[in-house]
Amino acid sequence: MAEERSVGRRIGGALALVAAFLTGALVWTLAPPPAAAWTVDGGALPGDFALFSRRFASDAYFYPGHGASPLGLVGFAVYAESSYDSGFGSAGFTDTAVRGSLPNDALAVGRVGVRKGLPGGIDLGVALSQALGGDVKLGSAELSYALSKGGVATPALALRLTGTRTLNARAYDLDQYGAELEVSKGFAVLTPYGGVGVVRSRGRLRGSLQDLSTADTRGIAYAGLTLNLLLPKITVEVEKGEVVQGRVRVAFGF
């Protein structure tokens, strides 16, 4: 009986945390956008816009930041992270596709999110992202299904599906969908993982004098390492899409 009450409290606490996150997400989404140091230029040349959208979509993709092992029914995680593309601002397409300047010529995308374990080896997650210093907000969702939960001598294997869309878009809209196969293996306090996948992205520019669209499908690959401390869990991830970039995540949960 005591164990059942403990499990019930954990589930209730996790659901309350998810509800609090979703409430905060709604407020954040509906809030007026802050002044930005740089914006997507509605007057971009078509070629520059296509190059901008291809690279931005790759950098902003909703990479996992975690291994393939499922959280389980009482498991959950909340996290904050940031990715970093050091050469984005110095690419030629920014001459017309970006109005303003990116700090240090780099594109950093900050993200906060929550994941919740469900029965049957399924995890669900939602996240909110912001191009730091910029005017692009993104909402993302993920579903992971554990093909193998892993064990002492065997790795975990999971199929992961993602979707991302811009929120309160000004000039630039992005819709993106991905499918991945991910593998990981836990070793005491370290969990290395990696994966490959395919991503479909569609960008649209709504300027005062033009309406442009571009789409592409690309393969992606990533590898990461999670340090499983009691609190928190720290993950470093390297990703290859249009370019190679890095990501750091700090997560709390069980």
Residue 126 has pLDDT above 90, yes or no: yes
Position of tokens 């240090």?
A: 104
What pLDDT shows up at residue 151? 85
What pLDDT shows up at residue 154? 93
What pLDDT shows up at residue 26? 43
Residue 206 has pLDDT above 60, yes or no: yes
Nearest to 174 by CA among 7, 14, 33, 53: 53
What pLDDT shows up at residue 34? 54
Residue 219 has pLDDT above 50, yes or no: yes
Enumerate the β-bridge partners of residue 113.
Answer: 79, 127
Per the CB < 8 A criterion, the answer to whether 19 and 83 are in contact is: no
Q: Give rounded-to-5 percent helix, strand, coil for the chain.
A: 20, 50, 25
Strand ranges inside the chain, DSSP E: 38-40, 76-85, 98-100, 107-118, 122-131, 137-148, 156-167, 172-184, 190-206, 211-228, 233-240, 244-253
Averaged confidence pLDDT in the chain: 88
Residue 62 has pLDDT above 90, yes or no: yes
Stretch 217-231: mean pLDDT? 94
CA 182 from chain centre, in angstroms, equals 15
Stretch 132-153: mean pLDDT? 94
Task: Measure the N-to-C terminal CA separation of the chain; round to a whole number of Å.
Answer: 22
Per the CB < 8 A criterion, the answer to whether 39 and 134 are in contact is: yes
What pLDDT shows up at residue 130? 94
| Residue 168's pLDDT band (cuts 50, 70, 90) | confident
What pLDDT shows up at residue 35? 60
Higher pLDDT, 248 or 206: 248
Per the CB < 8 A criterion, the answer to whether 131 and 55 are in contact is: no
- Domains annotated on the chain, with CATH: 2-253 (2.40.160.20)
Q: Can the peptide bond before residue 232 be classed as cis, meaning omega within 30 degrees of 0? A: yes
Higher pLDDT, 239 or 10: 239
Q: What tokens were used for 156?
A: 């975990």
Dist. CA 234–CA 99, nearest whole Å: 35
Dist. CA 29–CA 137, nearest whole Å: 8
- Which of these ranges, 30-39, 42-51, 93-102, 181-190, has the smallest mean pLDDT? 30-39
Task: Give the global pTM.
Answer: 0.85
- What residue spans of 60-153 are helical by DSSP H? 94-97
| Residue 150's pLDDT band (cuts 50, 70, 90) | confident
Residue 83 has pLDDT above 90, yes or no: yes
H/E element, 22: helix 2-30
* DSSP label of 9: H
